Chains A and B, each alone.
Chain A
Amino acid sequence: MVVYVLRRLALAVVTLFLLTLIVFAISNVLPQDVARAILGPFAPAESVAQLNKQLGTDQPLLVQYWRLLKGIITFDFGTSYQSGQPVTELIGQTLSNSAKLAILALLLTVPLGVVGGIAAALRKGRLADRVIVTLGLAGSAIPEFVTSTFLIFVLGLKLNVLPVLATWPEGSSIGTQAYYLLMPSLALVLVYFGYIARMARAGTISALEADYTRTATMKGMTRAKVLRTHVLRNALLPTISVVATQTGYLFGGLLAVEVIFNVNGLGRLLVTAAKAKDLPVLSAGVLVIGTIYMVATLLADLLISYLNPRIRLAANA
């Protein structure tokens, strides 16, 4: 098991390295001058050249890339080209906001999706199943900004039960912060409920139809006990992987929701950085999200191999 985890971690490092390469390549494909982008089209050429020199963006690409790698290893990503703030500080702030939102959304979506999926599977083909499946599908099909606007309209403006913007007063308690983040989280629940419910439903149906479930039934067990001891453990294996892959996205890919609810999150920071060719911020942000993604999938794989001895024992061999 230890060997397995170590091998996975080594693989993660390689992947992160490739990620930096890709980010660096992409941000340099665009034929845009960094200093020009910062100073604007009317700045004199000398200032642009000077700023480029100051930022080091006039140097050969290889040198620039080397500087980036060195920064990662020493955990010093430098300062933002745009604002001049230290990158670690920028990322730190936005990451904590993003994490709060992602965790709240996961805490709501995963139980709801799993329960909904199992409930649908148990009533396969009947009304409750159809309702859950259709709602889930509709939720995932409608873009986040539409559901967000809808929520703001209903919960915020009409019923006035939740704050419209996720800007809590300075120094609020965790509870208050969660209260402010509830509406954006609900918007995410609507989107992700469908994915998770569908996986949970499919997994449960195949476990219900499996021969071992029939074996358990023939032992004279009640349906509830069959579900508890034999169905669930097998049913949820595929769902775990789906949750893991969604986690990375929830941390860093929520531009629309962050903009609409004014969350100062990682998604927004990255889009702005990308537009301004703010390489230090962009690469640090992508690495952070990549790391989160990889930790999430690693945890999921560990959980799966804990639940499924076939994988666990193969990993040990």
Chain B
Amino acid sequence: MTAASSEPGLPVVAADPLAGADRATAALHVENLEVDFLVRGIPRRVLRGVSFSVRPGESFGLVGESGCGKSTTAYSALGLLPDNGRVAGGQALIAGRDVTHMSASDLRQVRLNDVSMVYQDPGAALNPTLKIGMQVTEAFTMLGAAKAEARDRAFEALRRVRISDPRGVMERYPHQLSGGMQQRVVIAMALANDPKLLVLDEPTTGLDATVEAEVLDLVESLREDTGAAVLLIAHNLGVIRRMCDRVGVMYAGKVVEQGPAAEVFDNPSHPYTVGLLRCLPRHGARKNDRRLDTIPGFLPQIGEALPTCVFVDRCPIATDVCRTQAPPVVALGTDTSGARFARCHHIDKVAQIEPTGLLSGADAEAREVEPILRLEDVNVTFHQNRRSIHALVDVNLDLRPGETLGLVGESGSGKTTLAKTILGIQQPDTGSRVVLDGVPLEGSTRKRPQDARRSIQIVFQNPDSALNRAQSVRAILSRALAKLAGITGKEADTRLDVLINHVRLTPRHLDLKPRQLSGGLKQRVAIGRAFAGDPRIVVCDEPTSALDVSVQAAILNLLADLQRDEQSSYVFISHDLGVVRYLSDRIAVLYLGRIMEVGPAADVFAGPHHPYTEALLSAVPSVDGAPETRIRLDGEVPSAASPPPGCVFHTRCPRRLESGICETEVPPLVEVEPGHRMACHIPLEELRGLQAAETVQA
């Protein structure tokens, strides 16, 4: 390797990769932006020279894991940095004017006329004490409209974002709307000033996939109407792929790769982008085919000096030159203007990065074995204000030894209630039976024998609140060993070593408190706690939803390994269908507390599907570029207090039969293929025909 960092033949762009872009005409032009946060009085660098440009009418995406500086970039560009944030260098130009050194009143004018923003949590973005109508109207009065006119325009704005009954919505308060409706309201306000630039910061994170699809559709069509440029920040690569023309991949406060979204995702050229994409369970990957790739190591601390390549410590192809010289900005593709580039010394070797472990194991044959857990006619009814809410209705499910049963469905579908019922923290109605190894269990954990309690454990979504913050990892795990396995004293120490080894923790972690651990390590402790008593069944409730994709991959690998070694069974809840598909052997689809479809994962994903499953699948934006959108669900999930008659899904079903049977008769859950049951009036062959032309990618 010579000192000349770039490989011969690779065109290297000048220091400013955007020299060609027109600073004055771009909707947003960010150039060498450097931002510090004051932490205990010391400035810590978080943005290390970010440059990109969003052209008028274009949609540009920023991706990267949490802490890489995506949101900080956007907030700097809107003058919204928190009190301890400082722009230390560079510029952010909106419509040709530098926002970072603007007077308060100029900045106000820019916000008033040129730019708008939509945030992650729409519930928090709306003032809880003011009516929707007032808040939307205000956006127009700010623009100089008279009261009455502003109200009319607010009504129009709400209609434009396809809110049903806008008049009624204006009289309501934010908490009376669903998350999807709230986000529509926020979007309506954001579009009030007909912005040249619309910044969307994780606009669909926390929304159901079906709602996410609606919101993304809406943003896309509004963008076409208004011609606004969009800066979209998302950690979900599929969302970026679906929405963006171009994308910038950020790592540790720097854009490491940039280019047209399709090219970057199909043909990544920076080792970080490669790693990020390989962490995702894609192309129908299954736990028995391959382990997921991970990105070893951690994101550098903020403020850390990173004089050369920011990714060098975690890069699989780093060499000495990567530690001594800053990587060149290498232009890629046919266009040498810098439209597509990556910052790397070894662009040519990126393609050779080896994926990790393919596994030989095929799917275990669906053996005819006794199920370890059997749910028979499980019903759960909540009583609230003299109304009965049916959270689970006649649920019948089996769980076999060593298998993963995936539970999917929108929020409110009863996934968590089902998990709680299995665990014995939710008492089912009388007549419901939860049978473990042929023995019926009491509805409440407290009344169950110790052995049954030990056998069924849980891993929660948020390890922060699941672990006692005052205790060390050693105390947490030792207590679990003592309580669940009855192991104390010397033997406990030996078992503790085995246990932490299983969950890939090291002895030095034992004396740390949870707050000293990263999210992924905390989740390992939580998994270790669940496995302390050799459980037979582990309920995993969204165990990776709060984690970044590279950490998620490591946790999914761990869960798959543990299952292979311990033959434990999982009930796995996740809203991420790719993740569910990776880990699950069978999948149950729930809607309003009823099972719509249940069967082997391969069959459920391959189809023919229940129309609801079909809608869930087609709502997921894919990193691989989705086929044309097929079916969309309209409207809200009906209230569980007054479910629709007939098939509960008929109010939203795009394939509802004209005969009217769907409105009147409840379809029975019948076996349509071996081991594959479905509750739909449409015969399987007909569904196959309807869905034939369409191949599903998850």
Contact = CB atoms under 8 A, between A and B. Distances in A.
Contact of B116 (A124, A218, A233, A317): A218
Contacts of A234: 127-129
A18 B509 CA distance: 53
Given A125-B83, A210-B124, A219-B189, A310 B175 contact: yes
B129 A233 contact: yes
B467 to A, nearest CB: 26
B119 A313 contact: no
Interface string A183-217: 00000000000000000000000000011101111
A131 interface: no
Interface in B200-241: none
A309 B128 contact: yes
Interface residues of A, number: 25
Contacts of B193: 220
Interface in B388-417: none
B471 interface: no
Interface stretch (B58-66, B105-113, B627-635): B105-113
B43 to A, nearest CB: 16
Interface in B4-19: none
B111 A229 contact: no
A309 B129 contact: yes
A310 B126 CA distance: 13
Contact of B117 (A218, A223, A308): A218
A200 B119 CA distance: 27
Contacts of A233: 129-130
B272 to A, nearest CB: 30
A221 interface: yes
A220 B113 contact: yes
Given A214-B119, A310-B173, A220 B129 contact: no
Given A215-B126, A220-B112, A313-B173, A229 B138 contact: yes
A171 B190 CA distance: 64
A315 interface: no
A204 B475 CA distance: 40
B80 interface: yes
Contacts of B128: 212, 234, 308-310
A317 B385 contact: yes
A220 B385 contact: no
Interface in B654-669: none
A90 B127 CA distance: 50
Interface string A297-317: 000000000011110010001
Contacts of B142: 219-221
A212 B124 contact: yes
Interface string B63-81: 0000000000000001010
A268 interface: no
Contacts of A277: none
Nearest to B129: A233
Contacts of B127: 212, 215-216, 230, 234
Interface in B162-191: 173, 175-176, 186, 189-190
A310 B172 CA distance: 11
B624 interface: no
A222 interface: yes
Given A219-B112, A229-B138, A211 B83 contact: no
A217 B80 contact: yes
Contact of A215 (B113, B125, B173, B385): B125
B248 to A, nearest CB: 22
B139 interface: yes
Interface in B561-581: none
Contacts of B138: 216, 219, 229
Contacts of B124: 210-212
* Residue in B116, B129, B142, B189 whose Cβ sees the most chain A Cβ within 10 Å: B129
Nearest to B112: A220
A308 B111 contact: no
Contacts of B143: 220
Contacts of A313: 173, 176
A67 to B, nearest CB: 43
Nearest to B113: A220
Contact of B78 (A218, A223, A230, A309): A218
Interface string B619-646: 0000000000000000000000000000
Nearest to A309: B173
Given A234-B128, A309-B129, A222 B108 contact: yes
Nearest to B120: A211
Contacts of B173: 309-310, 313
A308 B78 contact: no
A310 B123 CA distance: 13
A145 B78 CA distance: 53
Nearest to A214: B80
A124 B192 CA distance: 32
Contacts of B192: 219
A230 B142 CA distance: 14
Contacts of A124: 83
B121 A211 contact: yes
A233 B129 CA distance: 8
B325 to A, nearest CB: 41
Contacts of A223: 104
Contacts of B129: 233-234, 307-309
A203 to B, nearest CB: 13
B80 A215 contact: no
Contacts of A216: 127, 138
Contact of A219 (B83, B126, B139): B139
Given A212-B124, A308-B129, A220 B109 contact: yes
A310 B130 CA distance: 10
Nearest to A207: B127
A96 to B, nearest CB: 37
Contact of B111 (A125, A210, A220, A307): A220
A218 B385 contact: no
A215 B108 contact: no
A7 to B, nearest CB: 14
Nearest to B104: A223
Contacts of A211: 119, 121, 124-125
A223 B112 CA distance: 13
A211 B126 CA distance: 7
A215 B83 contact: no
Nearest to B195: A218
Contacts of A310: 128, 173, 175
A230 B83 CA distance: 19
A212 B126 contact: yes
A222 B192 CA distance: 17
A230 B143 CA distance: 18
Contacts of B176: 313
Interface in B121-166: 121, 124-131, 138-139, 142-143
A212 B125 contact: yes
A158 B192 CA distance: 63
Contacts of A220: 108-109, 111-113, 142-143, 193
A219 B112 CA distance: 6
Nearest to A209: B82
Interface in A131-185: none
Contacts of A317: 385
- Counting from the closest, the 9 A-B pairs by CB-CB distance are A220-B112, A211-B124, A212-B127, A309-B173, A220-B111, A211-B125, A215-B125, A218-B117, A233-B129
22 contacts: A211-B121, A211-B125, A215-B127, A217-B80, A218-B80, A218-B115, A218-B116, A218-B117, A219-B111, A219-B189, A220-B109, A220-B113, A220-B193, A221-B108, A223-B104, A233-B130, A307-B129, A308-B129, A309-B131, A309-B175, A313-B176, A317-B385
Interface of B: 78, 80, 83, 104, 108-109, 111-113, 115-117, 119, 121, 124-131, 138-139, 142-143, 173, 175-176, 186, 189-190, 192-193, 385
Given A218-B116, A219-B112, A309-B129, 9 more contacts: A214-B117, A215-B117, A219-B189, A220-B143, A230-B130, A233-B130, A309-B128, A309-B173, A313-B176
